């Protein structure tokens, strides 16, 4: 069960760092594996999702070594992967599944991708449809639109694809597939999703164009068939992991935390904007840029938060932080409305459902809606027994809720936290 009990606390004080960004860690292994030579990666996240990505590339003949906390990936060029001897296990990771599918659709060998029971329920049509349009052969083995996916050898051509959702996983799958054609590949998305793939490709010497269109959508283009040059990548701390520590400082009395070296890429920093709008005491210090990625320190202290409306273009900039935002809203003054967040339903769990059920268990006042939640702030949450449903973000958001609740909280099935933040309990 791996149950953990949280005893309420105040006076959280100190300086902390958070582990490397999960999205950037996945991409560093992928692009490192496709480059010609050895890339050196520092602050790589050794969470189980990113380890799954590493293992997939090792199975395709890529040497990935670790020395003194640095990861060395020796890529063999765009055409250097070899056929895996067995199924590629993507475990719980949507990012691994979707981005890797883009690469595999262009290979000269067949492959099968399969994950755990949560992953194998998540929709894959969103990448299968455009990859087929590019000339790939990819299908759902159970014919239910989900993994396990079978990918046949393919020769791809460029497309101009308009995605209905602002999804970095869809965009990245197509851009990675686009590396394998001489033609241009363009992905248009309704608003800009996280742009780590674009930034890292540029670091690897590949030209990528991003254009804002008159209707507010964004078009991202590249022309492939160009080899990538190996890089040194220093991964910033994951803002999605920092969100829990920020939440802990905001919610508990007499607390102040300095969280150092956090990634602050504009396409990811919606959480900070929201906390400022909720009147949280939060400041960004010591900003710098490395590898195109902004980073800085975050100083945050105990706050009386106020409810706000959260929707529209900010949603992709904070999608993984919504469980934590909902917990903060649960004791904020007034009403918080979260809308335009239908994508929450297809994450590791249906997060509208798992957040609402768990907040209700803690005597929060929440109404789930089709595309979000309406949360009326209460004085204090009450400790409860929380079912994470094996979703790391649910486990961590409710662990933080427990720190500020009346009475103890138990998180059942807390092991899932290893997906993105293996050291979470030690830090807390």
Ligand X SMILES: C=C(OP(=O)(O)O)C(=O)O
Binding site for ligand X (CB under 6 A): 49, 93-95, 320, 347-348, 393, 420
Nearer to ligand X, 123 or 153 (CB): 123
Nearer to ligand X, 156 or 328 (CB): 328
Nearer to ligand S3P, 43 or 252 (CB): 43
Burial tier of 279 (Cβ tally within 10 Å: 0-12, 13-18, 19+): middle
Q: 393 touches which of ligand S3P, ligand X, none (CB within 5 to 8 A by kind)?
A: ligand X
| Alpha-helix residue ranges (DSSP H) falling in 252-294 | 270-277
Kindly state whether residue 373 participates in binding ligand S3P, applying the rule CB under 6 A: no
Q: 343 touches which of ligand S3P, ligand X, none (CB within 5 to 8 A by kind)?
A: ligand S3P
Q: Smallest gap, in angstroms, from Cβ of residue 366 to ligand X?
A: 20
Answer yes or no: is 234 a known binding residue. Answer: no
Residue 7: CB atoms within 10 A of its CB come to 11
Nearer to ligand S3P, 193 or 331 (CB): 193
CB 214 within 8 A of CB 264: no
What is the set of active-site residues? 320
Listed residue (308, 363, 317) closest to 343, CA to CA: 317
CA–chain centroid gap for 43, Å, is: 16
Nearer to ligand S3P, 33 or 193 (CB): 193
Nearer to ligand S3P, 64 or 173 (CB): 173
From candidates 169, 191, 303, 354, binder to ligand S3P by CB under 6 A: 169
Q: 194 touches which of ligand X, ligand S3P, none (CB within 5 to 8 A by kind)?
A: ligand S3P
Q: Smallest gap, in angstroms, from Cβ of residue 297 to ligand S3P?
A: 23
Answer yes or no: is 415 a known binding residue. Answer: no
What does the block give as tokens for 357? 């059920």
CA–chain centroid gap for 358, Å, is: 22
What does the block give as tokens for 312? 């529209």
Q: Smallest gap, in angstroms, from Cβ of residue 316 to ligand S3P?
A: 6
Q: Smallest gap, in angstroms, from Cβ of residue 261 to ligand S3P?
A: 19
Q: What angle do CA 286, 292, 294 make, to 5 degrees?
A: 25
Answer yes or no: is 232 a known binding residue. Answer: no
Q: 238 touches which of ligand X, ligand S3P, none (CB within 5 to 8 A by kind)?
A: none
For 382-386, the CB contacts below 8 A with 24+ separation are 382/406, 382/407, 383/6, 383/8, 383/407, 383/408, 383/409, 384/358, 384/409, 384/410, 385/361, 385/409, 385/410, 385/412, 386/358, 386/361, 386/362, 386/410, 386/411, 386/412
Measure the CA–CA gap between 71 and 41, rounded to whole angstroms. 5
Kindly state whether residue 168 participates in binding ligand S3P, applying the rule CB under 6 A: yes
Site string (80-119) toward ligand S3P, x via CB under 6 A? ---------------x------------------------
Answer yes or no: is 68 a known binding residue. Answer: no
Q: Smallest gap, in angstroms, from Cβ of residue 225 to ligand X?
A: 28
Q: What angle do CA 349, 57, 35 make, to 5 degrees?
A: 120
Kindly state whether residue 320 participates in binding ligand S3P, applying the rule CB under 6 A: yes
Q: 172 touches which of ligand S3P, ligand X, none (CB within 5 to 8 A by kind)?
A: ligand S3P
Kindly state whether residue 30 participates in binding ligand S3P, applying the rule CB under 6 A: no
Q: Smallest gap, in angstroms, from Cβ of residue 244 to ligand X?
A: 12
Listed residue (154, 160, 114) closest to 138, CA to CA: 154
Q: 168 touches which of ligand S3P, ligand X, none (CB within 5 to 8 A by kind)?
A: ligand S3P
Nearer to ligand S3P, 4 or 347 (CB): 347
Handedness of CA 314, 316, 319, 320 (dihedral sign): negative
Taking CA atoms, 413 is separated from 3, 34, 46, in Å, by: 6, 36, 20
Listed residue (220, 222, 191) closest to 204, CA to CA: 222
Listed residue (79, 81, 92, 175) closest to 130, CA to CA: 175
Number of residues in contact with ligand S3P under rule CB under 6 A: 11
Crossing angle of the two packed helices 94-104 and 168-178, in degrees rounded to 10: 20
Choices 2-10, 168-176, 285-293, 349-357 (CB under 6 A): range interacting with ligand S3P? 168-176
Torsion of the alpha carbons at 78, 148, 370 and 131, rounded to the nearest 10: 40
Binding to ligand S3P in span 333-352, by CB under 6 A: 343
Transcribe 178-215 into DSSP letters. HTT-SSEEEEEESS----HHHHHHHHTT---EEEE-TT
Answer yes or no: is 295 a known binding residue. Answer: no
Q: Smallest gap, in angstroms, from Cβ of residue 113 to ligand X?
A: 13
CB 41 within 8 A of CB 32: yes
Binding residues for ligand S3P, rule: CB under 6 A, are 23, 95, 167-169, 172, 193-194, 319-320, 343
Binding-site positions for phosphoenolpyruvate read: 22, 94, 122, 169, 351, 393
Binding-site positions read: 22-23, 27, 94, 122, 167, 169, 320, 347, 351, 393
């Amino acid at each position: 069960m791996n149950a953990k009990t949280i005893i309420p606390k105040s006076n959280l004080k100190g300086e902390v760092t958070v582990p490397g960004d999960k999205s950037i860690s996945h991409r560093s292994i992928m692009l490192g594996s496709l480059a010609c030579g050895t890339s050196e990666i520092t602050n790589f996240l050794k969470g189980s999702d990113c380890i799954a990505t590493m293992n997939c590339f090792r199975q395709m003949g890529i040497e990935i070594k670790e020395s003194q906390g640095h990861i060395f990936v020796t890529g063999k060029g765009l055409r250097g992967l070899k056929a895996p001897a067995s199924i590629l296990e993507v475990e719980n990771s949507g990012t691994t599944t979707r981005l890797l599918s883009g690469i595999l659709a262009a290979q000269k060998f067949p492959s099968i991708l399969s994950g755990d029971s949560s992953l194998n329920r998540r929709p894959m049509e969103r990448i299968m449809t455009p990859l087929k349009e590019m000339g790939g052969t990819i299908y759902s083995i159970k014919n239910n639109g989900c993994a396990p996916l079978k990918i046949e050898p393919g020769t791809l051509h460029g497309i101009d694809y308009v995605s209905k959702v602002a999804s970095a996983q869809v965009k990245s799958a197509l851009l990675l597939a686009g590396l394998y054609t001489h033609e241009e590949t363009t992905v248009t998305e309704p608003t800009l999703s996280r742009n780590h793939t674009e930034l890292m490709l540029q670091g690897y010497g590949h030209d990528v164009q991003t254009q804002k269109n008159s209707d507010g959508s964004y078009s991202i283009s590249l022309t492939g068939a160009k080899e990538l040059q190996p890089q040194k990548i220093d991964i910033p701390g994951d803002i999605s992991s920092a969100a829990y520590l920020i939440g802990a400082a905001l919610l508990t009395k007499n607390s102040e935390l300095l969280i150092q070296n956090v990634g602050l890429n504009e396409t990811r920093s919606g959480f900070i904007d929201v906390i400022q709008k909720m009147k949280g005491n939060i400041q960004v210090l010591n900003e710098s840029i490395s590898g195109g990625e902004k980073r800085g320190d975050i100083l945050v202290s105990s706050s009386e938060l106020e409810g706000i409306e959260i929707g529209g273009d900010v949603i992709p900039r904070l999608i993984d932080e919504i469980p934590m935002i909902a917990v903060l809203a649960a004791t904020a003054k007034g009403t918080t409305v979260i809308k335009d967040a239908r994508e929450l339903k297809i994450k590791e769990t249906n997060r509208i459902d798992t957040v609402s059920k768990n907040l209700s268990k803690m005597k929060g006042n929440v109404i789930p809606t089709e595309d979000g939640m309406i949360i009326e702030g209460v004085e204090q949450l009450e400790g409860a027994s929380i079912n994470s449903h094996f979703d790391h973000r649910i486990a961590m958001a409710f662990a933080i809720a427990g720190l500020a609740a009346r009475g103890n909280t138990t998180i059942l099935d807390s092991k899932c936290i290893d997906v993105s933040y293996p050291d979470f309990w030690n830090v807390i």
